[in-house]
């Protein structure tokens, strides 16, 4: 990661590149388990990927997939998480905090009047447009990672979860291929590929175990619900910033 840090910022590495590496890890470990000599070329492979912009392209590609996934999720949820939380009809924020956030935002943003409960019911689209405007203000004024570390941390965690969900199908393929290859080599081809007894081939068994765990993760843990709660956490952190005196 130190090499990547010379070319990419922390957000790109954490929210875009790491999900990609997570997806290919089962295949990478399987390759190292059965062909350990490949490890000698690791540095050269990384240099090649960086020199020819492959990782940069991968980062942009993952970002695009993540953004498309985000659009679908927001549509399914009924709006962006910050918009949901600011609505009078939503109950994930208590009424007192919500009222305070509305007042603080109106006081900080010139010309913005957030809708009352009646106005929200009468014209939901107009109400959401005003909530989105308030969110844009907060986002642009809380980009300083040192002043707002929790917002940045939650944003990275949400970006990672969202992008990993966008790569879920590829992760499933990677894990299934790795499990299949390791099982085949351990059981069917053990005599050909290793002179050790089956249960002494720790590298192969380790790769199989990790691949099976990754298959479980992509099947049952990487899902919309996980992304939803990461998004809500980020939204709560962002909205809470309206009470900071430094904003």
> pLDDT tens digits for 221-236?
999 999 999 999 999 9
Q: What is the mean pLDDT of residues 4-16?
A: 89
* Sequence-separated (6 or more) residues with CB below 8 Å from residue 171: 22, 23, 164, 214, 217, 218, 222
Confidence band (pLDDT; 50, 70, 90) for 48? low
**Mean pLDDT, the chain, whole residue set:** 91
pLDDT at 34: 87
Please give the residue range of the domain that contains residue 6: 2-243
Q: What is the mean pLDDT of residues 46-69?
A: 84
Residue 59 has pLDDT above 90, yes or no: yes
Confidence band (pLDDT; 50, 70, 90) for 118? very high
**How many structural domains comprise the chain?**
1
pLDDT at 187: 82
**Distance between CA atoms of residues 94 and 215, nearest Å:** 39
pLDDT at 244: 87
pLDDT at 1: 63
Task: Check: CB of residue 65 under 8 Å from CB of residue 167.
Answer: yes
pLDDT at 51: 61
pLDDT at 49: 62
**Distance between CA atoms of residues 182 and 132, nearest Å:** 49
pLDDT at 175: 98
- Written as six digits, the tokens of 188 are 């069917």
Handedness of CA 102, 106, 112, 115 (dihedral sign): positive
Q: What is the mean pLDDT of residues 158-162?
A: 98
């Amino acid at each position: 990661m130190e090499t990547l840090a010379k070319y990419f910022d922390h957000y790109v590495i954490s929210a875009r590149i790491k999900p990609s590496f997570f997806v290919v890890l089962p295949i990478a470990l399987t390759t190292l388990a059965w062909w350990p000599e490949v490890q000698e070329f690791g540095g050269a492979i990384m240099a090649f990927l960086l020199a020819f912009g492959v990782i940069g392209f991968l980062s942009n590609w993952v970002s695009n997939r993540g953004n498309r996934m985000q659009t679908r999720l927001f549509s399914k949820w009924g709006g962006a998480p910050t918009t949901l939380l600011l609505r009078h009809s939503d109950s994930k924020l208590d009424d007192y905090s919500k009222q305070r956030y509305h007042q603080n935002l109106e006081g900080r943003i010139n010309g913005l009047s957030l809708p009352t409960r009646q106005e929200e019911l009468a014209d939901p689209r107009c109400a959401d447009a005003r909530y989105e405007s308030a969110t844009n203000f907060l986002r642009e004024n809380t980009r300083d990672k040192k002043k707002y570390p929790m917002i940045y941390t939650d944003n990275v965690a949400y970006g990672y979860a969202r992008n990993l969900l966008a790569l879920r199908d590829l992760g499933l393929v990677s894990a299934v291929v790795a499990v299949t290859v390791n099982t085949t080599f351990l059981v069917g081809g053990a005599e050909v590929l290793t002179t050790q007894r089956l249960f002494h081939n720790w590298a192969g068994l380790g790769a199989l175990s990790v691949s099976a765990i990754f298959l479980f993760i992509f099947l049952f843990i990487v899902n919309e619900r996980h992304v939803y709660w990461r998004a809500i956490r980020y939204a709560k952190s962002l909205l809470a910033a309206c009470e900071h005196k430094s904003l």
